[in-house]
Structure 1
């Protein structure tokens, strides 16, 4: 637990179901030397559609990290001129692994646009976390989004 936040540690991730390759274990005690971050992994999907659905109500899931990483990953889609192909919807007050009914519209927009070919608004970048969960772009991002498209 750090700063009152009870988030799963890298050591705990390696010890449970294999979310990462076993090669990740060499980094669990030295996270700052990792050659990648989750925003980079998400960006590998670009320019294809990606909708991240997260739960701000469960500290264990690391909602602050998810918000910062995925908001940053969206900048790759912005650079490619398809920002609406990547969305983040973070809403709490539901159980782990339970889809929040209030987010059905966001999911429908992505399904309708990217699977059914319909014209819908898929601009989804939102969190119900107070003050953007404390994520300040300028504290982490020292570059501007280039135009790659």
Structure 2
């Protein structure tokens, strides 16, 4: 049985314009209780992400709160999944890229963001991942073959 990403998207992703400041990002993250914002250009197209960790590291390096989010976030290297991709593929991408969030894109439309917490909160998924790891068949599940 394959579980797909669309089944664990909890809410719409929150975006922030690339011209916004770190302070704007902090305010949005705090108000919405999220750890990652998708950075969009003026046309609303996703161009990157900014996370709590990005902001903490920037502040530790002496960046000002008025610094643009594009200067502290990850821009141009979005790691994405499709809503139809398996959760196992999503978990594998997170592990491979050492990240905690993935942007969910349906073609060129932003559908949401999933986190490692979303994945591990699905008890069925965690159980299935453990089973697959024991039988060494996780590669088949990741590629989508049933």
Normalising by the residue count of structure 2, what TM-score does the alignment of the two structures yield? 0.28
The TM-score normalised by the length of structure 1 is 0.28
Larger RCO: 1 or 2 (CA < 8 Å, sep 6+): 2
Bigger fraction of residues in strand: 2
